Amino acid sequence: MRLRIVILLCAAALLSPLLVSAEEFSYRSVDLTLFPWAKLDGGSISENGNGFLVRGSLPIYRNFFALTEFQNLDLDHGVDTSRISIGGGGHWPISNTIDVVARAGIVRYKVGIGRFDDDDTGLWIGGRIRARIAPRFEVEGGVEHQHVEVAGLKNDTYLVGEARYNVTQQWSAGVLVNVGGDADAIGVQGRLNF
């Protein structure tokens, strides 16, 4: 079911070059996502829980931007994970309603199980399509890969889907879905564009 949702979001992003006049997408933002449902399933770990993600993006030169993310998951049986990443990306418009986005950087991933902690630092890379499918509604979908080995989890590739309703030019609300990897999560998101 979750995989179908992500596939539908990706398909909508790829197949929606609508004739809607729109402003350029903002890559100057801060957002908070709350995950009421999250699951870590890899190696010897299979636990459910919840968590949050805070991230920010800031343009640095023309079509390029810097970004940072912090994600924390609080799972059953004393399992906790945290992921901090920094990096950069670029976006290239293919129409006035669709951007191709590439992102890459460094990731620090930590898993705690009771008194046991394991962490690793590695690289991550991803590509997405971001599309405005109505004057206030946009979708974003793609794939990401992180190259880390921690607590039996290693080299994770997953699908990402996002949908946002732009309440104003500054405020957006939506959903974020990560599936297909060791850590799956479904969350609600608020974004401030500044």
Domain residue limits, the chain = 2-193
Q: What is the pLDDT of residue 4?
A: 59
Q: Select from 24, 13, 17 the least CA-distant residue to 141.
A: 13
Q: Select from 15, 192, 180, 179 the least CA-distant residue to 97.
A: 15
- 6-10, 64-68, 91-95, 137-141: which range is least confident on average? 6-10
Instruction: Find the angle CA(97)-CA(127)-CA(158) to the nearest 5 degrees.
Output: 125
The model's pLDDT over 67-113, given as tens digits with 9 standing for 90+, comes to 999 999 999 999 999 999 999 999 999 999 999 999 999 999 999 99
Instruction: Give the CATH number of domain 2-193.
Output: 2.40.128.100
pLDDT greater than 80 at residue 5: no
Percent over 90 (pLDDT), the chain: 78
- pTM here is 0.85
Q: Select from 7, 39, 49 the least CA-distant residue to 142.
A: 7
